[in-house]
A and B are shown apart, each in its own frame.
Chain A
């Protein structure tokens, strides 16, 4: 049996395509940053970075960066026409105050209830770090998760209850994985689409919580 799956860029492109024109969006560090490379032409989508910029642009060309202009992942970025700078308390007020339409975050686990675990595996001796993850999870109007469907050892990352420390309670709206696009609804998880060559039963087996067939 083959193992059909979407690539990181394919997942990023799907997420980008689901972001409406005029949205204010925060892309989390790591894989979600890829979404910025796939924003559809013709839509004005304003990217927010927690360290105080709206209207963030892509990485600068060689020799074009500014030493005071970075993103949340501390990588050099650019400012687009119409950009604005603000301090940290204002930046997080935008998140906490529900002004961002969408944020895209990575995850270790997502529960059927929309609980998110993405900041700590809780291992003893690990150096903890939370950054802006909890603020984004609790503040953005819609939280999209971008992650692999299973761990490297094949365990489901979509679960009945998170076993890792929580980032936020009931905060995830939609999950994009290498296998499927799944909505978190009050009635439970609903698969909207999944990779060609995978049956719904196979998808259900790879998922650690009850899953409804949204195509049916």
Chain B
């Protein structure tokens, strides 16, 4: 019998190890698995490489993980926010390594990892500082940059509904990086608003099939859980 359901965020993240690469879903404050991140902070794994579109807001979510000193390197497209002071301070003091990646290239590198693609040529960023040091080629008359798949040990994603097989549906723009991250990590942990009986999700509407999800944990959404 397949049962991906885990009782608590703490149990779900217990085996995240020092030095792990962790994909974390979310765009701004939407679709961020905040309770899984909180559990990772309590768990204390260090020297992490974190992949997220941003670098956290105020002292919530990814910013709280950065503030706890658990992250060695962040891979993201847009760390600078009005309230990204935790990131800004760590970056300026040299305590945090940054790999800046164009947002679509970030998404596609993650997708490639899940799809078994080693690397791909991509026109984005050709001729810019973000292509420096990378192999380039002219394909179909356009300059293209070789970009490598971005594999990870763990993915923490937030979805709306799950069943015990780990099938997931999402809510509006909270879907963002969830589906590609879920497929790219060796162990994907999904935080969901609600768990339904197997068979309740319409197979036509499942966005992430359970094959990509190792653990599901229910966290009742707080009224303001996704504010900011």
Contact = CB atoms under 8 A, between A and B. Distances in A.
A13 interface: no
A47 B51 CA distance: 28
Contacts of A129: 77-80, 100
A52 B173 contact: yes
A70 B122 CA distance: 27
A79 B91 CA distance: 37
Interface stretch (A132-140, A174-182, A184-192, A194-202): A132-140
A24 B227 CA distance: 29
Contacts of B78: 129-131
A135 B102 contact: yes
Contacts of B124: 96, 134-135, 138-139
Contacts of A133: 102
A1 B44 CA distance: 66
Contacts, number: 148
Contacts of B172: 53, 66, 68-69, 79, 85
Given A67-B226, A127-B84, A130-B77, A53 B92 contact: no
B163 interface: no
B127 A130 contact: no
A51 interface: yes
Contacts of A50: 103-104
B108 A89 contact: yes
Interface string A129-159: 1111111001100000000000000000000
Nearest to B174: A68
Interface string A66-100: 11111000100001000001111101110110000
B128 A134 contact: yes
A93 B104 CA distance: 8
A95 B103 CA distance: 11
Among A86, A125, A133, A135, find the residue whose CB has the most chain B CB atoms closer than 10 A. Answer: A135
A24 to B, nearest CB: 16
Interface stretch (B14-22, B177-185, B194-202): B177-185
A125 B94 CA distance: 11
A95 B176 contact: no
A51 to B, nearest CB: 5
Contact of B123 (A96, A127, A128): A96
A119 to B, nearest CB: 8
A169 interface: yes
B143 interface: yes
Interface stretch (A15-23, A32-40, A160-168, A207-215): A160-168
Given A67-B30, A67-B227, A167 B104 contact: no
B127 A131 contact: no
Contacts of A109: none
Interface in B128-182: 128-130, 143, 170-180
A155 B27 CA distance: 35
A85 B125 CA distance: 26
A89 to B, nearest CB: 4
Interface in B182-228: 207, 224-227
Interface string A39-72: 0000000000111110000000000001111100
Interface of B: 27-31, 53, 77-81, 84, 87-88, 91-92, 98, 100-105, 107-108, 110-111, 122-130, 143, 170-180, 207, 224-227
Given A67-B227, A89-B108, 20 more contacts: A68-B173, A69-B172, A70-B27, A74-B28, A87-B178, A88-B180, A91-B104, A92-B104, A96-B108, A96-B124, A125-B92, A128-B80, A130-B101, A131-B77, A132-B103, A134-B104, A135-B102, A139-B124, A166-B128, A169-B127
